[in-house]
Structure 1
């Protein structure tokens, strides 16, 4: 896949995912606080989990961005672009709720520490942070740093792919929130 097309596709996916996440903040209290009978999270807890996951992934993305920009001085970006391939099918499974078992770290579990307004504001900032990274690496520089992602055995993924992962993670939980709403 063309890296420039991928970057544009990631931006589009981010917009759609984050816009949809944002709409969940406008739901009524009954929807936000409905506790599924299976003991799953409420919509409010899911929103907090999205915020927390974004927070920790953005730390890794920031480090990767810095390393990629340093590597730009010593590596041939054109060769990286020429040899780049993207396994969309494997990535897209990340966005499918229930597609595989996913054990999240404890620090990404909701604790009820932020209000809905605070979470909404921070998630909006996180969206703009992702766009900023993609703009800074618009020529494909994100290819110049790879970090291991164990989820769904993705292996070594580049910085742009990490941002796509973040967006897919939100998409996965949008489905979970919709399930909550349907079952309340």
Structure 2
């Protein structure tokens, strides 16, 4: 069961970040286009994804270390018998504007970071996520939970945290698509 869950998370990482990666190849005018609602442009959205990943990965790294330490002392096989991610609740994280999200100031994009640097950072972060899943391939990730206040998730384990990171990026794919559509309408005028 845990192998199936890990495989699903890995597949989602690959799919979502492949889609994020494609945004680095769009028209430069589109990347810096400021939407009419005063929101971020695509460049800032991409930077925000990498910033959020950075801070989530700090927590994921610590949780991975603690889960592996606990696995050396505790038998976690009973926890895996009926284990499942709360897919529906986590999938809600990936839906743009489904709920209010008050992000911390340190996750605010500046808009001045070089796109190549952001792209490289995102690639490193994807590799880091995959590495943690490999380290936790036997279900160790269920042994350590951390509180996630976003959308009332509460205490979540390492697998949930990694899937949360992916869903956060997915949320912003929708946002960038909305910007693209608005940009294309303005270009037609």
TM-score range, shorter chain: over 0.9
Match of 2:186 in 1: none
Match of 2:187 in 1: none
1:44-103 Cα deviation digits (max 9, x unpaired): 000000000000000000000000001002221101112423221111100000111111
How far off is 1:160 after superposition?
1.1
List aligned pairs for 1:126-141, cutoff 5 A.
126-141=125-140
Q: Which runs of 5+ in 2 are unaligned?
A: 184-189
Could you list the structure 1 runs, at least 4 aligned residues long, displaced by more than 4 angstroms after superposition.
Answer: none
1:105-131 Cα deviation digits (max 9, x unpaired): 000010134200000001000000000
Match of 2:24 in 1: 25
Q: Which secondary structure does the structure 2 equivalent of 1:148 belong to?
A: strand
Q: Which secondary structure does the structure 1 equivalent of 2:34 belong to?
A: coil
Match of 1:10 in 2: 9
Q: Does 1:165 align with 2:154?
A: no
Match of 2:38 in 1: 39
Report how many aligned residue pairs link the two structures: 183
List aligned pairs for 1:116-155, cutoff 5 A.
116-155=115-154
1-structure distance, mates of 2:49, 2:86: 24
2-structure distance, mates of 1:145, 1:20: 30
How far off is 1:40 after superposition?
0.4
TM-score by length of 2: 0.94
Q: Which runs of 5+ in 1 are unaligned?
A: none
Cα RMSD (Å) of the superposition?
0.9
2-structure distance, mates of 1:94, 1:87: 11
2-structure distance, mates of 1:6, 1:134: 10
